[in-house]
Structure 1
Amino acid sequence: MNSTTERRFFYHSTGSRAENISLATYYVLILLFSVPANAMALWVFCCHPKRNNNSRVLLTHLAVADMCYVLLLPMRVVYHASDGHWILGEAACRLSGFLFYLNLYCSLYLMTCVAVDRLLAVAYPVRALAWRKPAYAKVACAVIWVTMTVGMAPVLLSKQTVEVQLQQQQQQQQRYSNNVSVVSLEDPQQQQQQQYNNNVTVCLQLYLVKTSPRALLSTAAAFSVPLLVLSVSYILILVKLGSVSRKQRQSPVHLKAKRMVALTLANFLVAFLPYHVHRFVYIARYGRPDVGDAEATALTDGNRLTSALTCINGVIDPLMYFFLTNTYQRTLLRMLGRPGNTAQPDPGQSSSRMEMSSAEIL
């Protein structure tokens, strides 16, 4: 971190009172929805294995990644409830940063695997039977978890908390509001006490992005692959679904497939794309000496906002499970007091191998 970046981060690190209250409330709401929804998904996938297929394996690991991520949110709630003061210690700061990036990118790459799996099921229903096996899905999940764990491990090995002094302007405003006299401020002991009271501990893993060419390159490499694969996969899926007859397009299988594509794309566009686009801009601009305080503040606020949006992933994924998994759908409907009547393809329609394969986990 260069001197310009360090000075700006210390100046803007704690955030306003209104911002901290809003973010703490937002994270609590995400927790209230995503924890029970993902917990139910794990219960359905692990305790009710109707059939062990590769899609179920991928969705189980995706639910694990989502659950691990949202369970980190209480740390952010405490951080913002304390007005940007990290009171949980060095170990918790390192762990929060490590698990944030680990589960964020595991979720992203598992979503990419689900997209490829759906493409194979829809576009190559017969030839893909030899490829779409649970053992291959388990290997893919293991490679993702191991790769991401090794890649994020350096966060655990370096100091991630620092004690900083609140910006001078805030201190002066507080002194005037408290009617502190100039004479008392000139007293060395009171100056030392005032400085101590205005110190806060900041966790560098919250909303701070390293501004270096290496950080820019690693972000581009980590995001460009799933971006390309997801885009190509779902375009090909929609093209394939659009090539069938009009009657087949109205079948429950095709309608559910289209909803699944829409939810996955919405998840990607809301939770992942803004975060990485802003991350590029932040890395490229924040450390430049010609960037004024207004732009630096906007970049910092954008970093907080897009980082908070990544939590939406833990909310949208359970909706995707609802449209992908009959067991999850029936369980949720029973809990809501409604009959779990899962739609099936019309027997009068041609039950092609493509439809059957697409309906495998729908």
Structure 2
Amino acid sequence: MQLLTSYKLGSIELKNRMVMAPMTRSRSFSKGLATDLMAEYYAQRASAGLILSEAINISADAIGSPFTPGLYTAEQVESWKKVTDTVHKKGGVIFAQLWHTGRVAHSVDRNGVLPVAPSAVKIEGMQHFTSQGVKDYETPREMSIADIRQTIADYAQAAKNAIAAGFDGVELHAANGYLPQQFLSDSANLRTDEYGGSIENKARFTLEVMHALIDAVGGDKVGIKISPLHPYAGIAFDDPTATYTYLINELNKLNFAFVELMKRAPTFPLLPHYPVDDEIERFGKLVKQTLIAGTAYTRDTGDAELEKGIADLIAYGAAFLANPDLPRRFELGAELNTPDRATMFGGGEHGYIDYPFLK
């Protein structure tokens, strides 16, 4: 089974090709700090070849959801050390996913401050989970050039903070409707300056952030997550193939570790003008770096994906959430625990660190 074979990611030897996908769990309840409970959660899953952490806010301005951690204060950096230390003691490898939510946010969890975005375009047709319950989205404030430059600097500083906290590297979250994808998209970006209009201009923000991350910590410690056809949070492209072909070709000119390519979640309908073929075939073949394929893979479909020779690693989300010993279960063909969706976001130990291991 290829899933259980080792893989060399830059200078890091991964013990298998199974990646624990980034998953927001909303269990950081004070000052964006990592907790002992979070350290136990990640350490339990250290048998993954690579752990990608939950999304971590790069600044106070990046915050979109309640009870999510940060990497922008000295106290936060210190708190993450217990997580990375416990993962490393278990023989694991962990990258920090760097997060700016942009317009996928609400002022009630931002001290009354409106979220920022490429343009003042509100998300319609869905609501946001806040500390005060579900609320309609607000119209964000359009970012100035100074805001953009500050945000890029915040990404770079958060990357340095991640390495100081003991992470093995960082991943730019440029998927799922968050800030980098807002800049990329035709539905969220109505700008007419150098960050809007053409595909080249709309891709500028993501590429500048990647340059900043590589400069900050070295390309062997940097990855990026993209989701070309996933329409979450009102993201739409006139021509997603043209946009992502350009972005991937530009990324190919950079020296960095990996691209995580997230397929559209089955629960989201494909937009009528989007291509219906497989995203790994369409976009993955373009990627020159290590390719991580993700979304709804099983033991058998993940291994079959590796057999095709396009993807190098396979990301598992809910399966790792519910099965801390997932590689062992795959090895034995054992039954899997079922994830409890009611405890995925927020709460304490239940549905977090109490999923049973194989006996």
What's the TM-score bracket when you normalise by the shorter of the two chains? under 0.3
* Structure ranking higher on relative contact order (CA contacts 8 Å, 6+ apart): 1
What is the TM-score when the length of structure 2 is the normalising length? 0.25
- Structure with a larger share of its residues in helix: 1
Question: For the pair shown, which has the larger CA radius of gyration, 1 or 2?
Answer: 1
More strand by share: 2
